[in-house]
C-alpha cells in the first residue's frame, strides 16, 4: 500500500528534482503516493509545512533555519536531509538602472565589486538630485535572495537599509513589477530573470555564482517530529529525489525534463527558458547577449544534493549580520543541525563524507569559517544590529 504525501513547491526550476521524482515515477517506486501542491509565496509553503498540511516542502534554506530558531515566527524545528539546488539565483535590473550602472562602471561588466561600487555612485547621484531611493525586490526576508543582494550591495558601500528600499515579492510577480516600474531590480531564482530579459524589461546583472561560488539555495524540508515518526518514508523520499536529480543531469534526458517542468501545473513557462537554465546558458540582455556558466545552477552534480552544515552556518551568519538574530554558540549549533547529511547518507547507503563540499567562495570578505562566525562578521563594515 502506497504512503500518501502532500508536498508543497514554488514554480522555480530548482524544484526540478522533486518534480521529476514524482512525474517519472521514482517516488511511486519507493511506495510513495505524492501529491505536489503548487504555491505562490514562501510564507504559504512555510506555514502549511509547519502546521502539517504539507508532509514536506521545496523550501528556502534560510526559512528552515529561521523556523528552527523561532526567529520572527513560531518555532517549529525543521530538518533538511536533501539539497534541491545550489546557486540558481540572479540579480536583474531595469534597462534604466542597467544603463546608469554601466555609465558609472570602472571595471569589468560581470565583476560584482565593480558593479557594487558603480551602484554606490548611482545611489549618491540620485540622492544629490533629489530622486526617490531605488527599490529592489527579493522573495522573503529569510531568503538567500535577500542575503545575496545585501552582500553584493554592502561590498560597494551601499547600506541596503538606509540607501535604498528592499521589498518582498513572490517570484511569479517579479517581472510584472519590474515592467510596471514598481521596482528597479530584483533577485530571484530561475526562470523569472530570463522571463524579464525575454520580455525586454530587464538585464541580468549577475548570476549568484558571481557573488558566491557555491551557495545553498533550496532544500527538501520536513518537520523534525515527522521524521521521528516516518524514518522509512523519509528515506524513500530522499532516494526518489536523488534519482530525479541524477535523471536531470543526464543530457540525453534534457528534452523530457524541460517538457515536464514546462507544464502549467509545474513551473509553467516556455520550455526553452528552462532548457537554458539547466544548461547555464542565459540571455542576459534583450539584445540577445548570451552568458554561460556551468555553476549557474547545480541540481545533481558535484555533490550538490548532499546537505552541508557549513552552508547553514553561513546563512545564520547573514541573519546575524543583518539584525534578524542575535549571535550565540547554541543558535549556531541549532542552525547547523538543520542540514542533515547523516539522513542523506543513511537513505542512500553512502559512506559519510566529512568536511564541507566546497568553500562558499564569496567575492568579498575573508574565507568563511563556521568555527569562527563572530570573527568572520567583524570583518564587515556594513551591518545591522538586532533592535
pLDDT tens per residue, range 122-139: 999 999 999 999 999 999
Domain ranges of the chain: 3-85+215-266+300-356
The whole-angstrom separation of Cα 27 and Cα 39 is 20
Pairing of the two strands 290-292 and 281-283? antiparallel
For 185-230, how does the pLDDT look when each residue is reduced to its tens digit (9 = 90+)?
999 999 999 999 999 999 999 999 999 999 999 999 999 999 999 9
- If you classify domain 3-85+215-266+300-356 with CATH, what class do you get? alpha beta
Q: Which three cell numbers stand for residue 48?
A: 502549511
Reported pTM: 0.95
Q: What are phi and psi of 37, to 5 degrees?
A: -110, 115
Q: Which three cell numbers stand for residue 343?
A: 539522513
Pairing of the two strands 135-138 and 185-189? parallel
Pairing of the two strands 32-38 and 3-9? parallel
Contact predicate 165/134, CB 8 Å: yes
Average pLDDT rounded to a whole number, residues 83-91: 97
For 276-327, how does the pLDDT look when each residue is reduced to its tens digit (9 = 90+)?
999 999 999 999 999 999 999 999 999 999 999 999 999 999 999 999 999 9
pLDDT band at 102; cut points 50, 70, 90: very high
Amino acid at each position: 500500500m502506497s504512503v500518501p504525501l502532500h508536498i508543497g513547491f514554488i514554480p522555480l526550476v530548482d524544484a526540478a528534482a522533486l518534480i521529476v521524482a514524482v512525474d517519472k515515477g521514482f517516488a511511486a517506486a519507493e511506495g510513495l503516493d505524492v501529491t505536489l501542491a503548487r504555491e505562490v509565496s514562501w510564507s504559504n509553503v512555510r506555514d502549511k509545512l509547519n502546521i502539517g498540511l504539507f508532509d514536506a516542502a521545496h523550501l528556502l534554506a534560510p526559512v528552515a533555519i529561521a523556523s528552527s530558531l523561532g526567529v520572527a515566527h513560531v518555532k517549529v524545528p525543521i530538518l533538511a536531509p536533501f539539497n534541491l539546488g545550489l546557486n540558481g539565483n540572479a540579480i536583474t535590473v531595469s534597462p534604466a538602472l542597467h544603463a546608469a550602472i554601466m555609465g558609472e562602471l570602472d571595471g569589468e561588466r560581470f565583476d560584482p565589486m565593480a558593479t557594487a561600487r558603480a551602484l554606490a555612485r548611482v545611489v549618491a547621484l540620485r540622492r544629490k538630485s533629489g530622486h526617490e531611493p531605488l527599490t529592489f525586490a527579493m522573495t522573503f526576508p529569510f531568503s538567500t535572495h535577500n542575503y545575496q543582494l545585501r552582500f553584493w550591495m554592502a561590498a560597494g558601500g551601499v547600506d541596503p537599509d538606509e540607501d535604498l528600499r528592499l521589498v518582498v515579492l513572490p517570484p511569479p510577480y517579479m517581472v510584472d513589477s519590474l515592467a510596471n516600474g514598481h521596482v528597479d531590480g530584483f533577485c530571484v531564482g530561475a526562470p523569472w530573470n530570463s522571463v524579464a530579459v525575454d520580455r525586454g524589461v530587464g538585464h541580468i546583472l549577475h548570476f549568484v555564482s558571481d557573488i558566491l561560488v557555491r551557495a545553498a539555495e533550496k532544500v527538501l524540508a520536513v518537520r523534525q517530529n515527522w521524521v521521528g515518526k516516518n524514518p522509512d518514508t523519509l528515506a524513500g523520499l530522499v532516494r526518489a529525489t536523488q534519482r530525479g536529480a541524477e535523471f536531470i543531469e543526464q543530457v540525453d534526458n534534457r528534452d523530457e525534463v524541460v517538457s515536464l517542468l514546462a507544464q502549467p501545473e509545474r513551473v509553467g513557462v516556455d520550455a526553452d527558458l528552462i532548457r537554458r537554465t539547466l544548461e547555464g546558458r542565459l540571455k542576459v540582455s534583450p539584445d540577445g547577449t548570451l552568458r554561460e556558466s556551468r555553476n549557474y545552477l547545480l541540481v545533481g552534480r558535484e555533490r550538490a544534493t548532499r546537505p552541508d552544515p557549513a552552508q547553514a552556518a553561513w546563512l545564520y551568519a547573514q541573519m546575524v549580520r543583518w539584525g534578524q538574530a542575535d549571535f550565540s554558540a547554541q543558535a549556531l549549533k541549532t542552525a547547523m543541525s538543520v542540514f542533515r547529511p547523516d539522513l542523506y547518507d543513511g537513505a542512500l547507503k553512502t559512506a559519510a563524507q566529512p568536511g564541507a563540499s566546497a568553500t562558499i567562495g564569496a567575492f568579498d570578505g575573508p574565507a568563511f569559517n563556521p568555527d569562527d562566525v563572530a570573527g568572520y562578521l567583524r570583518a564587515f563594515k556594513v551591518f545591522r544590529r538586532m533592535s
